[in-house]
């Protein structure tokens, strides 16, 4: 029953994003242009930073993603900014942070964002045996699922995963494909693991976005500079005619 409720919730969020009304209190909001369903059968690995192919996006379409959260001092600021602009994003969670801050996981989910997975403790998985690496992946999925839906399970409600540091291996990629889990790389990244001012990060990221023209954008909601930079980024994207695409899993028909 819990699994069914999670699937229905995803379907409702996808529908509401696709039919959203003008952004309350912000007539000039960036908004979310459309919803894109993603399935491992057709797009098992996406993002040209990591793989040859990416999502089927049109010119000036972006998917916003955030890694490593949730974090109590920065994730709420990121969520508030996204809500003010009616923008929906994908959060690739660390299981240990989901454990520590489950209320933020549930808030992100309730506000219409997609919950993906990023291991439990952020090790470089290509330096582990495949069995140990998959156990680390599953531990993260389980803790994320517990925080979001109240049930520990290693079959994710949203089968989206990103490797820490993009450190994959072919055996692990094959295992995730067999499990129907889409692996996300990125097309554009903020380099916000490096110390810089919000203004410098905005300039760097916008330069890369304009050069790429479309794609999956990688940021970290654990970084104060990114939380501070995000309002300016969304305004600049609106000004330059970029549009936001929200990715959700292709859940297929719901059986009762």
pLDDT digits (tens, 9 = 90+) for 143-201: 999 999 999 999 999 999 999 999 999 999 999 999 999 999 999 999 999 999 999 99
**pLDDT (tens digit, 9 = 90+) per residue, 58-67?**
999 999 999 9
Q: How far is CA 182 from the centre of its chain?
A: 12
- Predicted confidence band of residue 15 (pLDDT cuts 50, 70, 90): very low
Digit-coded pLDDT (tens) for 224-243 = 999 999 999 999 999 999 99
Confidence of residue 252 (pLDDT cuts 50, 70, 90): low
Beta bridge pairs of residue 46? 184
Q: At what angle do helices 2-18 and 130-149 cross, to 10 degrees?
A: 80
Query: So where are the chain's domains?
Result: 2-21+30-249
Residue 78 contacts residue 234 (beta carbons within 8 Å): no
Q: Average pLDDT, stretch 51-60?
A: 97
Q: Which residues are catalytic?
A: 67, 220
User: pTM, whole model, 2 decimals?
Assistant: 0.91
Tell me what pLDDT residue 59 has: 98
Whole-angstrom CA distances from 234 to 81, 100, 242 are: 9, 29, 9
CATH of domain 2-21+30-249: 3.20.20.370
DSSP assignments along 228-247, one per residue: HHHHHHHHHHHHTT-EEEEE
């Amino acid at each position: 029953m819990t699994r069914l409720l999670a699937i229905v919730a995803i379907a409702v969020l996808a529908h509401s994003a696709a039919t959203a009304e003008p952004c309350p209190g912000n007539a000039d909001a960036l908004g979310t242009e459309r919803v894109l369903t993603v399935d491992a059968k057709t797009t098992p690995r996406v993002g040209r930073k990591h793989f040859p192919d990416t999502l089927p996006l049109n010119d000036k379409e972006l998917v916003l993603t955030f890694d490593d959260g949730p974090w109590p001092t920065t994730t709420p600021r990121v969520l508030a900014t996204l809500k003010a602009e009616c923008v929906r994003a994908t959060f690739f969670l660390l299981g240990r942070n989901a454990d520590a801050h489950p209320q933020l996981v549930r808030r992100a989910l309730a506000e219409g964002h997609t919950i993906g997975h990023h291991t439990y403790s952020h090790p470089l998985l290509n330096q582990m045996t495949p069995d140990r690496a998959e156990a680390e992946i599953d531990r993260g999925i389980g803790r994320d699922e517990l925080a979001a839906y109240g049930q520990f399970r290693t079959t994710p409600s949203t089968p989206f995963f990103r490797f820490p540091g993009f450190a994959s291996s072919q055996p692990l990629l094959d295992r995730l494909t067999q499990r129907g889990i889409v692996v996300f790389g990125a097309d554009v990244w903020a380099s916000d693991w490096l110390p810089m001012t919000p203004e410098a990060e905005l300039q760097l990221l916008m330069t890369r976005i304009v050069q790429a023209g479309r794609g999956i954008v990688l940021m970290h909601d654990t970084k104060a500079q990114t939380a501070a930079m995000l309002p300016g980024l969304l305004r600049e994207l609106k000004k330059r005619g970029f549009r936001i695409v929200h990715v959700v899993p292709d859940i297929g028909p719901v059986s009762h």
